Amino acid sequence: MDITIYGSGYVGLVTGACLAQVGNHVLCVDIDPDKIARLKRGEVPIYEPGLDELIQANMQAGRLDFTLDAAEGVAHGLFQFIAVGTPPDEDGSADLSHVLTVADTIARHMKDYRIIVDKSTVPVGTADRVRDTVSKRLQERGLDIDFDVVSNPEFLKEGAAIDDFMKPDRIVIGTDNPRTTELMRALYAPFNRNHDRLISMDIRSAELTKYAANALLATKISFMNELANLAERLGADIESVRVGIGSDPRIGYHFIYPGCGYGGSCFPKDVQALERTANEVGYQAELLQAVERVNHRQKQRLFEKIQSHFGADLAGRTIALWGLAFKPNTDDMREAPSRVLMEQLWQAGARVRAYDPVAMDECRRIYGERDDLELVDSAEAALEGADALAIVTEWQEFRSPDLDMMRTRLSSPVIFDGRNLYDPERMAREGFRYHAIGRGAPEPA
């Protein structure tokens, strides 16, 4: 099939590459000349495991291309995927200006039937606004061209997005036309062979499903962080509690790991947007408000622990930081707990020496060169002479470190672990002062 995708960011590139991989001809449209030039050279502007190879292979096979020409994009694909950003406005609502601009662009150049697919994460009612935008522009052009609008939300985890697309848990399709449902079913048939994963529903329900999924996952994280803070005060070990409740199949083990808060491009934005949507229809979403408040507070916990240990004045201290990305297997630092911690440390007069396997360039882009930030090329180098180590991202390479090396390189054997990677009793036996989340801090041997 011929497919056009507007937006060559995270969702657009993964969607385009995966659809091309199964034999479709995909054209990705973007307005950024530099990005399109890089993509045409085979340079992928985001980090996602396996994406570089997938894009390059499909470009070489002639199934994937990139363009700045929107008219070419409209002419190319029966399916017109909108995968542009929906950043939060100041009030927390999703900014739909890019989505509606694409809808208007499609309508300006349409000559025959098109299926317009909302792939971006958008509030309930967006498909109606897209339909109105397209209808208005066609009317101005004096044309009566048939088209359909579909909600097809993405459920991609950064770091595992290709597997998520190629082997999905579910494929949600929101339509108001049985013909469109069958066309979408045909499009997704290569990803739906083992058993039927396609779930068809009305458009508004599909739009809400995406927000509901992310809000529920964020709620589980905030709930566990709330329990972790309580466990510290009660002398309980949140890891034991986690295993105890996760063994209940009604609860399960997914997304019940306490830590230093969630970040990224989805959970913070989507919880805020759903809360704003509730306000617009006269409903106060108290649970969503609490989820957001708990997460904001949880991002302060590592700094609070550092100040509790060293005192309020951190001038002259150097804190080693392991992890900058909001989660492993991505370079995304949007809303990352590391940013909150670093900025608090700098405000208190401390220096940060940081390492992350893939997010160093992103950190440089965000913060530039500054005297109180040193980016080093290994986890070991970050420790050299530091007063303490703070662990913010649970990269695999941090899970089983050389404790003798750590103790030797740190000026004092103090660890603040925002991801509960190690056993507190073992760390105490090894001579570390170990501060985790919800686990207490045993005296070192």
Beta bridge partners of 318: 351
Q: Helix, strand, coil proportions of the chain in percent (round to 5)? A: 45, 15, 40
Q: Identify the DSSP state of 410.
A: S
Of the candidates 18, 260, 266, 363, the residue annotated as catalytic is: 266
Neighbours of 249 (CB within 10 A): 6
In degrees rounded to 5, what are phi and psi of residue 314? -105, 15
Q: Which helix (H) or strand (E) holds 179?
A: helix 178-187
Distance of CA 352 to the CA centre of its chain: 25
Please list, in sequence order, all residues whose beta carbon lies within 8 angstroms of the beta carbon of residue 378, skipping any fewer than 6 positions away. Answer: 355
Q: Which helix (H) or strand (E) holds 174?
A: strand 171-174
Neighbours of 116 (CB within 10 A): 23
Tell me the two tokens of residue 262: 């969630």
Q: How far apart are CA 415 and CA 406, in angstroms?
A: 10
Nearest of 262, 227, 222 to residue 242 by alpha carbon: 227
Beta bridge partners of 80: 4, 116
Q: Which helix (H) or strand (E) holds 117?
A: strand 114-118
Cβ contact 200:181 at 8 Å? yes
Q: What is the full DSSP assignment across 237-265?
A: -HHHHHHHHHTSTTT-STT----S---SS
Helices (H) and strands (E) in the chain, counts: 18, 14
Nearest of 379, 420, 7 to residue 243 by alpha carbon: 420
In degrees rounded to 5, what are phi and psi of residue 373? -135, 120
Please tell me whether residue 86 adopts helix, strand or coil conformation. Answer: coil
Does 266 qualify as catalytic in the annotation? Answer: yes
Pairing of strands 414-417, 388-391: parallel
Q: In Å, what is the CA distance from 250 to each residue of 223, 246, 247?
A: 16, 8, 9
In sign, the C-alpha dihedral spanning 44, 49, 53, 59 is: negative
The residues annotated as belonging to the active site are 266
